[in-house]
């Protein structure tokens, strides 16, 4: 061992060895342990880092010759045991490197409590970081760089997508297994896949369900090491193989023109509150990495998970920027969705900062300039910033879109005006701050809540299997069951549910903004009414691919409406509609009843007046009827010879939607009869 260098942090493969660099301002002594491999119980050697030679400022560093790829390492960090000062140092614990590219956390130690009055009584742990060879053959693939206006997002879970036996993949529940579903994604027409957390997380048992079985952290919103892919998403093999397999997944998605967006958690960690386990940050420098309470023993909790990262401390800001740069430059991802992103705008006292330095740094970082940035623009501390999240570059999950579209199609009175605003890109939310429709990520369902099938099958949540006596999950879901709570074979109820699913799929794809589809909604995936399946690593959450054959009608509809959106650029333009672009009316041509009980309206969408006809598209007539009775619409005059029908959710398949070139002439001349609870789209054609 020699002194080495303080930067970069983490491990760097140098020509003369491996350079290790670790931040800890309050540590008094640091040990670096090297293990033969991640399974070794004892180190083959331990280096005691002398502060005189191995410390530069707050960075502890060493250059080690003779180590090799596949070996493991850990740090033991010694300092004051002073919980009343926010310093619970414990040199008996092995800490993982926050910059580690791969980690191993034995499940038996993942829930060990860290705060014991006598630190000598704490159990030993087997936490390891792994030395990973970062070389990889990208085979010339590059980022697709799909524009926001052309983006269609598919949100899914790496394990859940292919874990069910019906997936028929060679590597179920893994990064490689996801590749095997590329033909399905390509046929559907999505352009980006948004993956629920793939960074190493604590999957250990969480709670007992009512039936007595132990439940696990399935979603992954409990991060341990933010540079490291989750090891369980790799096929069998030595630790570290998950890095290559993640890269292989990204490479093949890019080869197919599909972007990769990661749902990433920077608001809290798996170390939780005062009774949580120690993995790294708490043992390295607790008061730097976390927002502490006034007593220095407790943690501010804006995440709802026990602790909150101190995101706007300069050291933590640098860590987050380094992490994002790594996933972009080394792992080739195309964007990030930031969980509870409002926390990233809170200062060290927990207040929302008007010009949060971290948010500005992310938006202005030169490495991240072409990266898609998506904010979940709220947190558990009461912040709600939908429409007002700082900075022009940030897109936002538009929860107002979700709720207003659900309520309109459920038949709630007074929702017509709000529904029209969502269809037009939510100008009421975004235009005043200089943003555009593409700043709105439109969704009706996501991982957090009902699936689309369950939204039309249940009025209330059914979370009994979570073991929390129904206290978890949102209370108001704006769902409807159409006469029966849950699955049924009643043909009348099933017809109503299929129609409503089509209504919401079509609304999502007809609206300006960026559409996001929840994985499995295209074939009616169900969670049996569970609207908070965070701990259900079982058939409640997994994609049952038998449903694809059973519900081909829904898949075909979703595929065709995505294709129609791509053929009509007026629907996805990155600017708000101007006054002359739209003509709204009631069924008889009268002004719409925006806030009254009427739930039927029509809209004439005129194509832009610039560009050639192929770019401009056709005139569109959109008809919506959320009432319980059929409605006859007077069709507006068209510059073309006649109106042709693209889709009508009130019609039975295959007449519910038509492929390009097969659209029939609208019957009835100047009037169109639209069934109860239905939507129709017509376009001007010869």
The confidence score (pLDDT) of residue 206 equals 66
* Tokens, residue 104: 């191993």
Please list, in sequence order, all residues whose beta carbon lies within 8 angstroms of the beta carbon of residue 350, skipping any fewer than 6 positions away: 291, 300, 302, 308, 381
Calpha distance 209→397 (Å, rounded): 31
Exposure on the CB side of residue 600, measured as CA atoms within 13 A: 22
Element containing residue 246 per DSSP (H, E): helix 241-255
Task: Please tell me whether residues 168 and 70 are part of one structural domain.
Answer: no
Tally of CB atoms within 10 A around 106? 14
The confidence score (pLDDT) of residue 490 equals 98
- Catalytic one among 339, 404, 448, 522? 339
11-21 pLDDT, tens digit each = 999 988 999 99
Is a pLDDT exceeding 50 seen at residue 117? Answer: no
Give all strands (DSSP E) within 506-581, no chain letters.
Answer: 514-518
The confidence score (pLDDT) of residue 482 equals 97
The confidence score (pLDDT) of residue 128 equals 95
* Tokens, residue 437: 């429709």
Task: Assess if residue 137 is contained within a domain.
Answer: no
The confidence score (pLDDT) of residue 386 equals 97
Contact 105, 230 (CB under 8 A): no
pLDDT band at 112 (very low <50, low <70, confident <90, very high): low
Task: Please tell me whether residues 329 and 190 are part of one structural domain.
Answer: yes
Task: Assess if residue 329 is contained within a domain.
Answer: yes
3-state DSSP call for residue 203? coil
Task: Please tell me whether residues 559 and 482 are part of one structural domain.
Answer: yes
Examine the fold and report which residue of 515, 540, 569 is the final residue of a domain before the chain moves on.
Answer: 569
Task: Assess if residue 140 is contained within a domain.
Answer: no
Domain count, the chain: 3
- Catalytic one among 376, 537, 553, 656? 376
What does the pLDDT average to over 316-337?
Answer: 98
Contact 55, 49 (CB under 8 A): yes
Task: Assess if residue 150 is contained within a domain.
Answer: no
The confidence score (pLDDT) of residue 52 equals 97
Examine the fold and report which residue of 521, 552, 569 is the final residue of a domain before the chain moves on.
Answer: 569
The confidence score (pLDDT) of residue 608 equals 77
3-state DSSP call for residue 682? strand
**Structure pTM?**
0.96
Task: Please tell me whether residues 529 and 675 are part of one structural domain.
Answer: no
Contact 181, 545 (CB under 8 A): no
Task: Say whether 339 is catalytic.
Answer: yes
Calpha distance 27→61 (Å, rounded): 13
What does the pLDDT average to over 149-176?
Answer: 98
471-507 pLDDT, tens digit each = 999 999 999 999 999 999 999 999 999 999 999 999 9
Residue 533: φ, ψ to 5°: -85, 40
3-state DSSP call for residue 639? coil
For residue 566, give the DSSP letter. Answer: H
Cα angle vertex 100, ends 31, 371, to 5°? Answer: 150
pLDDT band at 610 (very low <50, low <70, confident <90, very high): low
Task: Please tell me whether residues 469 and 552 are part of one structural domain.
Answer: yes
For residue 532, give the DSSP letter. Answer: -
Task: Assess if residue 146 is contained within a domain.
Answer: no
Task: Please tell me whether residues 284 and 401 are part of one structural domain.
Answer: no
* Tokens, residue 202: 């604590």
Element containing residue 85 per DSSP (H, E): none
Examine the fold and report which residue of 516, 534, 569 is the final residue of a domain before the chain moves on.
Answer: 569
658-679 pLDDT, tens digit each = 999 999 999 988 899 999 999 9
Task: Please tell me whether residues 188 and 235 are part of one structural domain.
Answer: yes
* Tokens, residue 22: 């670790």
| CATH number of the domain enclosing 679 | 2.60.40.1180
Task: Say whether 37 is catalytic.
Answer: no
- The radius of gyration of the chain from alpha carbons, rounded to an integer in Å, stands at 27
- Alpha carbon dihedral 191, 197, 199, 203, in 10-degree steps, equals -150
Task: Please tell me whether residues 371 and 424 are part of one structural domain.
Answer: yes
Task: Assess if residue 136 is contained within a domain.
Answer: no
3-state DSSP call for residue 591? coil
What angle separates helix 281-289 from helix 314-329, to the nearest 10 degrees?
120
| Alpha helices per DSSP H over 197-294 | 241-255, 281-289
Task: Please tell me whether residues 550 and 638 are part of one structural domain.
Answer: no
The confidence score (pLDDT) of residue 250 equals 98
Tally of CB atoms within 10 A around 670? 11
The average confidence (pLDDT) of the chain is: 93
Cα angle vertex 323, ends 160, 3, to 5°? Answer: 130
- The burial class, CB within 10 Å (0-12 / 13-18 / 19+), for 468 is middle
For residue 327, give the DSSP letter. Answer: H
Residue 403: φ, ψ to 5°: -70, -40
Contact 308, 315 (CB under 8 A): no
CA distances from 129 to 67, 87, 280 (A): 13, 23, 11
Cα distance from N-terminal residue to C-terminal residue, the chain: 79
What does the pLDDT average to over 136-156?
Answer: 98
Task: Assess if residue 328 is contained within a domain.
Answer: yes
What does the pLDDT average to over 34-40?
Answer: 94
Element containing residue 485 per DSSP (H, E): none
Q: Which residue segment(s) compose the domain that 368 sits in?
A: 155-264+302-569
The confidence score (pLDDT) of residue 126 equals 84
Range of lowest pLDDT (105-119, 389-403, 559-573, 587-601): 105-119
| CATH number of the domain enclosing 285 | 2.60.40.10
Task: Please tell me whether residues 176 and 293 are part of one structural domain.
Answer: no
Task: Please tell me whether residues 494 and 351 are part of one structural domain.
Answer: yes
Task: Please tell me whether residues 171 and 70 are part of one structural domain.
Answer: no
Is a pLDDT exceeding 60 seen at residue 218? Answer: yes
| CATH number of the domain enclosing 525 | 3.20.20.80
Instruction: Considering only residues 470 and 244, tell me which one the structure prediction assigns the higher pLDDT.
Output: 244
The confidence score (pLDDT) of residue 118 equals 45
Of the candidates 251, 228, 248, the one whose C-alpha atom is nearest the C-alpha of residue 240 is 228
413-454 pLDDT, tens digit each = 999 999 999 999 999 999 999 999 999 999 999 999 999 999
Tally of CB atoms within 10 A around 488? 15
What does the pLDDT average to over 238-258?
Answer: 97
Calpha distance 561→222 (Å, rounded): 36
pLDDT band at 111 (very low <50, low <70, confident <90, very high): low
Please list, in sequence order, all residues whose beta carbon lies within 8 angstroms of the beta carbon of residue 504, skipping any fewer than 6 positions away: 405, 406, 409, 444, 452, 455
Task: Assess if residue 591 is contained within a domain.
Answer: yes
């Amino acid at each position: 061992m020699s002194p080495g260098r303080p930067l970069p942090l983490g491990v760097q493969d140098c020509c003369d060895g491996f350079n290790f660099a670790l931040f800890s301002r309050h540590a008094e002594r640091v040990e670096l342990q090297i293990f033969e491999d991640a399974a070794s119980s004892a180190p083959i050697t331990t280096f005691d880092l002398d502060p005189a030679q191995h410390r530069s400022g707050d960075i502890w560093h060493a250059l080690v010759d003779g180590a090799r790829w596949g070996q493991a390492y850990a740090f033991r960090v010694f300092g004051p045991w002073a919980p009343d000062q926010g310093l619970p140092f414990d040199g008996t614990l092995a800490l993982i490197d926050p910059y580690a590219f791969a980690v191993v956390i034995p499940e038996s130690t993942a829930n060990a409590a860290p705060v014991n009055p006598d630190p000598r009584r704490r159990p030993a742990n087997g936490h390891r970081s792994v030395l990973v060879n970062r070389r990889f053959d990208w085979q010339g693939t590059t980022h697709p760089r799909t524009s926001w206006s052309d983006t269609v997002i598919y949100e899914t879970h790496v394990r859940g997508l292919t874990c069910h036996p019906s997936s028929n993949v060679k590597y179920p529940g893994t990064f490689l297994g996801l590749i095997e579903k590329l033909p399905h994604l390509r046929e559907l027409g999505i352009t980006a896949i948004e993956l629920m957390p793939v960074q190493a997380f604590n999957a250990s048992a969480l709670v007992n369900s009512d039936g007595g079985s132990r439940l696990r952290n399935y979603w992954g919103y409990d991060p341990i090491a933010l540079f490291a892919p989750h090891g369980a998403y790799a096929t069998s093999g030595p630790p570290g193989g998950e890095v290559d397999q993640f890269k292989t997944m990204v490479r093949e998605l890019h080869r197919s023109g599909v972007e990769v967006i990661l749902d990433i958690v920077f608001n809290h960690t798996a170390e939780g509150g005062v009774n949580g386990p120690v993995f790294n940050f708490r043992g390295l420098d607790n008061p730097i990495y976390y927002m502490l309470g006034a007593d220095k023993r407790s943690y501010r909790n804006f995440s709802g998970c026990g602790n909150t990262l101190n995101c706007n401390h300069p050291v933590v800001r640098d860590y987050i920027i380094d992490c994002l740069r790594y996933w972009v430059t080394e792992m080739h991802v195309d964007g990030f969705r930031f969980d509870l992103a409002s926390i990233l705008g809170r200062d060290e006292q927990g207040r929302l900062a008007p010009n949060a330095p971290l948010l500005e740094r992310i938006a202005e970082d030169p490495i991240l300039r072409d990266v898609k940035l998506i904010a979940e623009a709220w947190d558990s501390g009461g912040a709600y910033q939908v429409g007002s999240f700082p900075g022009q570059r940030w897109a936002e999950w538009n929860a107002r879109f979700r709720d207003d579209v659900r309520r309109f199609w459920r038949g709630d009175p007074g929702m017509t005006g709000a529904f029209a605003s969502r269809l037009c890109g939510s100008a009421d939310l975004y235009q005043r701050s200089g943003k555009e429709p593409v700043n709105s990520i439109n969704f009706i369902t996501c991982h957090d809540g009902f699936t689309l099938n369950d939204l039309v099958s249940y009025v209330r949540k059914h979370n009994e299997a979570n073991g929390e006596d129904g206290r978890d999950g949102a209370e108001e879901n704006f769902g409807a069951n159409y006469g029966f709570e849950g699955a049924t074979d009643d043909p009348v109820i099933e017809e109503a549910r299929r129609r409503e699913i089509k209504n919401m799929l079509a609304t999502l794809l007809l609206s300006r903004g960026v559409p996001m589809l929840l994985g499995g909604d295209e074939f009616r995936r169900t969670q049996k009414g569970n609207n908070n399946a965070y701990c259900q690593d079982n058939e409640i959450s997994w994609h049952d691919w038998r449903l694809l054959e059973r519900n081909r009608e829904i898949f075909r509809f979703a595929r065709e409406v995505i294709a129609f959106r791509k053929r009509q650029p007026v629907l996805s333009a990155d600017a708000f509609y101007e006054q002359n672009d739209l003509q709204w009316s009631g069924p008889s041509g009268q002004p719409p009843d925006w806030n009254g009980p009427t739930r039927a309206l029509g809209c004439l969408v005129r194509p832009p007046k610039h560009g050639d006809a192929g770019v401009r598209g056709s005139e569109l007539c959109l008809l919506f009827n959320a009432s319980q009775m059929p409605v006859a619409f007077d069709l507006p005059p068209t510059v073309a010879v006649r109106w042709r029908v693209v889709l009508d959710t009130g019609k039975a398949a295959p007449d519910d939607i038509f492929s390009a070139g097969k659209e029939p002439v609208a019957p009835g001349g100047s009037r169109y009869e639209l069934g109860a609870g239905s939507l129709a789209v017509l376009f001007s054609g010869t």
